[in-house]
Every structure is written in C-alpha cells, then in structure tokens.
Amino acid sequence: MKQQSGKLGIREFVSIAVLMVGSKATEDTPAILYSQAQNASWMIPFISAGIFFIPLYLLIKTMSVYDEKDLFSVIKIILGKYIGFLVCLIIFIMSSYAVSFDTRTYTNIIRAFYFTTTPTLIVYALLILICAYGAKKGLQHIGSVSYLIVFYGVLSLYIALLLGTQNANINSMFPIWGPGPLALVKEGSQKLTLFADFFLLTMLVPYLTSKKAFKRGTWLAYFYVTFQISIAILTYVCMFDEGLAGIAYPFHTVIRFISLGQYIPNVEIIFFIIWIMAAFIRFTAFLYINAMMFGHLFKIKDFEYLIPSLATLYLMIGMIPEAPINVSLVFKPLIVSTAGPFFAVISFVLWLVALLKGEFKHAKNKDII
Amino acid sequence: MQKTKTLFKLWLFCVMVCLLSGCWDREELEDKSYVIGLGLDHSKEKDKIKVTMLLANPEVGSMQGGGGSTEKPREIITFDANDFIAAKATANSVISRNISYELLRIFVVSEEFARDPMFPTTFDEVLKDKEIRLNSYIAVSKEKASQYFLKNKPRMETRPHKYFQFMVDHGIENGLIPDSNLFRYFNTIERGSDLFLAMYTTAKRQKNPEIKREDEYTAGELNATGELDDTQFIGSAVFKNGVMFDTLTGQETRTINILDDTTNIKDILVNMPDPFSDKKRQFAARIMKTENNKVKMNLKGITPKIFINIPLQIEIMSNPSMVDFSKEKNQQILKKSIADHIAKVNEDLLKKTQTKFKGIPYPLPLYSKKYFATIQEYKKFNWAKAYPRADIKVKVDITIVDYGNRTKKAKRLGG
C-alpha cells in the first residue's frame, strides 16, 4: 500500500495541484483578470502559463540534478548558506502572506453568499481549524483526500459551467483581442502569480515516489489547470458579458443563478459543499507546505507540530483587513503582483548559478560513471 | 485505554452534531415569511418609495390530500420606505415572521415609477441585497403596483409563487412577454447599446377594448369574459438606459423574441394570412424555432448593412380555403407567402425601432463584436448612433414540417 511507504503517487500529487491552483477559477481571480483584460481575459491564463513555463522548466531541470532534495535544500546548496537562507525566508514570508489573505478571501465568499450574519471571525476560525487539523494529519492523508475529492470538484465545476452556458452567448467573447494584443501580453506577464503555487509545490519533491512522477505530475497539472481556469473565465465572460465588471465572485453568482429545470430552482448549496471541501484541501496543503518551509528554515524536524501555531498566526494576519473590499483591493494585489515574477526570477537565477557552477556537467558525469 | 478512546471519539461526534445547527445563521421554516412579489411605486413623500410586499403562506397547499389549514394563501402590505432592503425590518412591525427575499420571484414596478429617471438608481439596490437572485423577473404594471397585487386574485393557482411562475413561464414560451429577468436588465444597462424589454401586465381590464388579431394586444386589452381573474400578461415595456419610455404589443414582443436567440421560446401558435383566399382569411400555424439565427453584417461605410436569416419550422394547423397541399405548386405558394409575411413583419418592426425608438430592442450588437479586433474599435463604432441609419434585411427560411392531417381536398361547403 502507498500509505505504508509514506510517499505520494502521481495521481495524489496531480490532485493536490489541481485543487490548489484550479480553484482559482472559483474565487475572485476571474474578476481581477476581467477588470484588466475585459472579454479577452480568458487568454490571460494561457499567456501567463506560456511565460511561466520557462522558469518552471528551468527550475525542474535544476532540481532534477539533485536527487530527492526539496526546493529549500536546493536553494541552499546552490546559493550558499546565507543568501540561500535569505531567499528561503522571503519565499516563506510571501507564501505566508498569500495563504493569510487567500483564506480571508474564502471566508469573505462564505460570509457574502452563505452565512450572512455569522461573524467573520467564527467562519474564519472554523475554516482554519479544519485546515490545521487536516494538515496535522500529514501529507499522505492530504494526498488521498484530494484524490477522493478532485473528481467531484472538477465535475461539479463543469456541471455548473455547463448549466451556465444556457444563458451564455458565445459572441460575448469577441472582439477577439479585447483591449489589444499588446495589452494582453503585458497583463499576462503581470499575472504569473496564477501559477506561483507550482513553484511552491516543488517543496514536495522528497515525498513523491519518483522524480519522474513529480515531473510528469507537474506538467500534467500545469496544462490541465491552465485549460480549466481559461474555460471557466470564458464561460463567465459569455454569461455576464460586460456585467462581469461588477461581479466580485463570478462562480458563486453563477451557481446562484442556474437551476436544474423548473422544479429544482435553487441549487447552489450542492455546489457549495463540494467547493468548500476543495477549499479545505487547498489550504490544508498550503498550510502543510508552509509549515514544512518554516521547519526547514529553522531546522525543526517535527514541523508538523508547528501547524496549529502557524494556522493561528495566519488567522490573526487574515483578520487585519476590516472589510472584504480591503482584501481584494489593498492587501491581495500586493502579493499578486510580486510573487509570480519573484519566483520566476529565483528559478532563473538558480538555473544560471547551477550552470555556471557546472552542476549539470557533474550530474552528467555521475550518470556515466 | 481502548474504551476511553472510543468514548472520546463518540463524545467528539456529539459535539460536532451541536455545531451543525450553527448559531448565527440558523433558520427555521416556521419563523420565515417569504416575499414572492415586490411592488414598487412612487411615494407622496419626496425621495421615498412605496413598497408593496406579497407574502406567501407556506402552509397553504403544502398538505397532501384534504385537510390543510383555513389560513389565507397570501398577505399583502404596502408602506412608504426609503428603499426596499431596510423595508424588510419595517415590515416586521406588521408581519409576525422574519421576512426574507430568498424566494422573491417577481418585481412589479408601476409604469409611472418605471418612467421616472430616478428609477434605475433606486432599483440598483437589488444587486446589493444578498438574498435576491438575478433570475427573478421584472414586470411593469399599468396601474399602481400596490393596486395590482390587491386586484390580482387568481382563481385556480391561489398560491402566489406558483401563479407567477406558471404565468411568466408560459408567457415566455408563447413569446407574448419577454424573458425579463434581473440578469438581463442589468446586463443591458451595462452594455448600454440596446434596449431592455420588461413584461407588461395589468390586473385591470379595459372597459370596451376593440377586438384585434390574436396577438396584437397589450396588457388589459384582451376582452376575455367569464369567471376569471382580470390579470393579463401580454406585451412589453421598453426601457432605455434603465428607464421605461414606450410599450410594445404582444405581437411585436413575439417578433423580437423570435429574433432574439437568448430567449427560450418554444413553439407558438399564430394566425397568418391565407394566400389562397381572396377574402383575407387567416390560417392557424405552429411556428417552431429550433436553430439559431444567422446574422451577417457589413459595418464598413456610412450605412451599416445587417443581414438576418431566421430559420423556422412551420406546421400548418388549419386550411380554411381547402387547398390541396399534395400539389407541389400549392406548397411553393404557401411557403413563399409565409416567408414574405414573416420577413415583412420583422422588417416593419425593426424600421419602427430605428425611427421611433432609436434603439435596438434586443442584443444585436453582440453579433457585431466578431467584426472588430479590439474593444476600442468596437466602442468607436457606437451602435446607439449607427443603428438608426442601418440597412436591415431579414430573410426567413421556411421548412414546412406538416401540412395538416387531411391530404385530400375536402368538399367545399359554403363560402
């Protein structure tokens, strides 16, 4: 059995990746993209994926030189003890910042659509509590649960979108270039953070069954997720047309609008349950990776004990913004505009230094011997 | 040890069950009063509106078989308020239960209020409320909305939510009223390039309405007598930038519904002039729309050219001049006459919208989007200005799927 070996197979890894990145189609990301690229915003995931492909490819290539080493170990080996530590610390802080405000975004969604009178703190605390519990269970559990859920998550997303297309008009996707091809490329290059999670997922390398599983899993999830986010945004654009500009959380507006025929008109709760389970997994995995980073930074071996305290810390940071609007307009843009490019630069620098140091040649020689 | 562990787990389970009910968003069906229809009127006070709530009694009709309660199926209250969101709280001084908009199906706005330029700003609050769904409908009533709800007394469907749902759904299927949900209303405002049609309704029958063709009425003009409710849903109110400014008859609404691919009309029954009759007789036919229209445009030059191709399937239901349709020649005559008739009706209506309304009654500009490369070019084209001078050609593709039961020529009796 896989559980005994304590490693993740390719399917678990892909499930985690799909849930972590793919769920971006169901929160406020489409609205943010739409505000910049209007009806051509469905192209942004493709453009961003195309640009982020290069650093991610270089990173995976660099990492494949070192067997069974995670991202932080590789950074420390390549950049040295001190610079390596600094870079790792920055990555950890960024990722912590992201997880704090992403969880807050989800709390906002839950409060806005489903539990309107419950205090934010209660909803938030429950969300964090469940994620912390899940993360404490360990990576194997996260992997198997996400493999269990991923089908329902993806299926329910497509069913919702399919029901939405009944009210959609394909003509809304035109004019094909939206605000102009140049503006699109510019926007796409600024939205690299869409795929920043793949950078963080390289922390899980030592826990995978094989190097090949990691490589193939990453690319599989990468291309699939690009496709999924793009399809989702395209459906929103075709449904809401220019009205999408005023909608903060399109997915939830869609599931409130659609109905299963005349007799089952209000179906959002079915989709909500599956969505919230996917959200739990997303943040559980996120929390686990962050704890792992922290453990790595400060040489704490049993980092799983850190999870509850880290989770509490994130809860406290996430509670700083007063209203949902502050989260999506003040706090989130900061990380969205910096994380992706920063991670891309780090990947590039790692590859360059490794190349100059001649690590790739060493590896080749080792293979021959 | 094993025992304590199991006990602990069981205890945890019980604690979890307590969590399930929740604390803040707990809702009891008994405690709720659902607003099905919301009426909006001018108030005598300035800057205020008159809100009318039609509340359904969930107990009535829910009982299987006999029994049930003797309570009335609905309650109606009207009062002045600043807006209809805070009005929920005000209404609680009259209604014992907690008022909820979750099952709100229809907004009825009086024509007088809908024509007020202030209407869109008041109505915009709909988007702010978290309970109102975008698939609720908006209708314009000829009289005051408060009177409309009072006068509307359905005989068969006494439960208001069913009544409005059926009335609206079947009206849309027949094409006599537009599919005017909030979603479309706000989308149209956002686009700004076309007009919005809202269903037109009244609960007051006109005194002596003239008799017209089967679908040329607007609300209140149909002279139906007997034991019935006076409410009529037919025709549409035309909105420009969120403010009403004109009306369309049932027939015109139906024509636009056929032009507009985004509405779900099913099969509709109509009368059409009989080409074989010299006495201006009409025959009945069933029109089915199974395919989408094909729209082609040539937007270069000063007069934009628009070609609309409408594919329709037709079933002949009556044959007043007893023509033998087994003959190929007769079939051709009939086909051509129907195609010409429908094309003419469409072109006349579009001409009317060009000259009288100076606006497009359905999202036609959507089809033009693919002719532009970027949004800037599309915006520059400015549909609102270009439409009145556009040259529109309508072509109808007719497939007659059935000529009726009788193939043989029947014996001609009388006229």
What CATH number did the domain enclosing A130 receive? 1.20.1740.10
CB pairs under 8 A between A and B: 85
Supply the pLDDT for residue B216. Answer: 67
Residues B93 and B231 in one domain: yes
Tokens of A116: 């309107």
Q: Would you say B237 and B196 are in contact if contact means Cβ atoms under 8 Å apart?
A: no
Domain that residue B379 falls in: 266-415
Residues B39 and B99 in one domain: yes
Q: Do B375 and A167 touch (CB under 8 A)?
A: no
Three-state DSSP string of chain A: CHHHHCCECHHHHHHHHHHHHHHHHHCCHHHHHHHHHHHHHHHHHHHHHHHHHHHHHHHHHHHHHCCCCCHHHHHHHHHCHHHHHHHHHHHHHHHHHHHHHHHHHHHHHHHHHCCCCCCHHHHHHHHHHHHHHHHHHCHHHHHHHHHHHHHHHHHHHHHHHHHHHHHCCHHHHCCCCCCCHHHHHHHHHHCHHHHHHHHHHHHHHHHECCHHHHHHHHHHHHHHHHHHHHHHHHHHHHHHHHHHHHCCCHHHHHHHHCCECCCECCCHHHHHHHHHHHHHHHHHHHHHHHHHHHHHHCCCCCHHHHHHHHHHHHHHHHCCCCCHHHHHHHHHHHHHHHHHHHHHHHHHHHHHHHHHHCHHHHHHHHHHC
Tokens of A345: 């630069």
A253–B contact, CB cutoff 8 A: yes
Identify whether B298 is part of a domain: yes
Identify whether B254 is part of a domain: yes
Question: Which residues in chain B are closer than 8 Å to A173, comparing Cβ atoms?
Answer: 369
CA distance A310 to B216: 70
Residues B246 and B335 in one domain: no
Q: Do A118 and B24 touch (CB under 8 A)?
A: yes
Q: Do B366 and A122 touch (CB under 8 A)?
A: no
**H or E segment and range at residue B100:** strand B98-100
CA distance A290 to A311: 10
Check if the interface score ipTM surpasses 0.85. Answer: no
Q: Would you say A91 and A346 are in contact if contact means Cβ atoms under 8 Å apart?
A: yes
Select from B187, B369, B375 the Cβ nearest to the Cβ of A243. B187
Select from B25, B169, B261 the Cβ nearest to the Cβ of A262. B169
CA distance B52 to B42: 11
Tokens of A347: 């990947």
Give the up-direction half-sphere exposure of residue A179: CA atoms within 13 A in the CB hemisphere.
16
Tokens of B43: 């108030």
Supply the pLDDT for residue A209. Answer: 83
| Binding-face residues of A in 226-245 toward B, CB within 8 A | 240-243, 245
Q: Do A116 and B191 touch (CB under 8 A)?
A: no
Q: Would you say A173 and A39 are in contact if contact means Cβ atoms under 8 Å apart?
A: yes
CA distance B195 to B185: 9
Residue with tokens 């400015």: B382
Identify whether B19 is part of a domain: no
Question: Which residues in chain B are closer than 8 Å to A118, comparing Cβ atoms?
Answer: 22-25
B398 strand-pairing partners: B312
Domain that residue A240 falls in: 2-368
Residues B286 and B228 in one domain: no
C-alpha B205, offset from chain centre: 20
Tokens of B186: 């706000």
Supply the pLDDT for residue B415. Answer: 47
Interface of B with A (CB under 8 A): 22-25, 102, 127, 130, 133-135, 165, 169, 183, 186-187, 190-191, 261-262, 363, 366-367, 369-370, 372-378
Tokens of A197: 């999670």
Residues B136 and B169 in one domain: yes
Number of other residues whose CB lies within 10 A of the CB of residue A259: 16
Q: Alpha-carbon Rg of chain B, whole angstroms? A: 26
Question: Which residues in chain B are closer than 8 Å to A39, comparing Cβ atoms?
Answer: 369, 375
Question: Which residues in chain B are closer than 8 Å to A241, comparing Cβ atoms?
Answer: 187, 190-191, 366
Tokens of A306: 């850190």
B84-to-A52, B78, B117, B147 alpha-carbon distances in Å: 49, 11, 18, 18
DSSP B197: E
C-alpha B203, offset from chain centre: 17
CA distance A97 to A335: 7
- Among candidate residues B212, B241, B261, the one where a domain is terminated: B261
**H or E segment and range at residue B173:** helix B160-174
Q: What is the largest CA-CA distance in chain A?
A: 71
CA distance A287 to A128: 9
Give the up-direction half-sphere exposure of residue B230: CA atoms within 13 A in the CB hemisphere.
17
Residues B242 and B273 in one domain: no
Q: Would you say A61 and A351 are in contact if contact means Cβ atoms under 8 Å apart?
A: yes
Interstrand relation of B32-42 and B49-56 (parallel, antiparallel or unpaired): antiparallel
Tokens of B15: 């604690």
Interstrand relation of B243-248 and B267-273 (parallel, antiparallel or unpaired): unpaired
Name the closest residue on chain B to residue A126, using Cα atoms.
B19
Interstrand relation of B232-240 and B243-248 (parallel, antiparallel or unpaired): antiparallel
pLDDT at A4 over 50: no
Q: Residue B192: what are its φ and ψ, rounded to 5°?
A: 70, 0
pLDDT at A242 over 50: yes
Name the closest residue on chain A to residue B371, using Cα atoms.
A175
Tell me how many degrees the CA angle A40-A14-A16 measures, rounded to the nearest 5: 90
CA distance A65 to A81: 19
Q: Do B183 and A176 touch (CB under 8 A)?
A: no
Give the up-direction half-sphere exposure of residue B196: CA atoms within 13 A in the CB hemisphere.
26
Identify whether B26 is part of a domain: no
- At B350-381, the pLDDT tens digits run 888 888 888 888 888 888 888 888 888 888 88
Number of structural domains found in chain A = 1
Interstrand relation of B243-248 and B282-288 (parallel, antiparallel or unpaired): unpaired
Residue partners of B241: CB distance under 8 A and separation at least 6? B120, B189, B192
Residues B255 and B328 in one domain: no
Ranges of chain B whose pLDDT falls below 50: 65-66, 415
Q: What is the mean pLDDT of chain A?
A: 84
Q: Do A259 and B261 touch (CB under 8 A)?
A: no
Q: Do B372 and A174 touch (CB under 8 A)?
A: yes
Residues B191 and B54 in one domain: yes
Supply the pLDDT for residue A224. Answer: 92
A141-to-A145, A213, A279, B129, B161 alpha-carbon distances in Å: 6, 18, 15, 40, 47
- Among candidate residues B231, B246, B261, the one where a domain is terminated: B261
- At A64-107, the pLDDT tens digits run 887 778 888 888 888 888 888 898 899 899 889 888 888 888 99
Residues B411 and B299 in one domain: yes
Identify whether B297 is part of a domain: yes
pLDDT category of residue A1 using cuts at 50, 70 and 90? very low
Number of structural domains found in chain B = 2
CA distance B183 to A239: 10
Identify whether B21 is part of a domain: no
CA distance A108 to A325: 9
B378-to-A36, B194, B337, B358, B382 alpha-carbon distances in Å: 17, 14, 38, 19, 7
What CATH number has the domain bearing residue B338?
3.30.300.210
Q: Do B130 and A112 touch (CB under 8 A)?
A: yes
- At A285-330, the pLDDT tens digits run 889 999 988 988 888 888 888 888 989 999 998 888 888 878 877 8
- Among candidate residues B261, B295, B322, the one where a domain is terminated: B261
* Residues A49-72, mean pLDDT to the nearest whole number: 85
Q: Do A265 and B135 touch (CB under 8 A)?
A: yes
CA distance B275 to B336: 9
Tell me how many degrees the CA angle B349-B351-B356 measures, rounded to the nearest 5: 95
Identify whether B14 is part of a domain: no
* Residues A201-224, mean pLDDT to the nearest whole number: 86
Residue partners of B205: CB distance under 8 A and separation at least 6? B220, B222, B223, B224, B230, B232
Residues B245 and B273 in one domain: no
Q: What is the largest CA-CA distance in chain B?
A: 101
The region, left, alpha or beta by phi > 0 then psi within -120 to 50, assigned to residue B204 is: beta
Residues B256 and B299 in one domain: no
Q: Would you say B341 and B335 are in contact if contact means Cβ atoms under 8 Å apart?
A: no
Q: Would you say B256 and B361 are in contact if contact means Cβ atoms under 8 Å apart?
A: yes
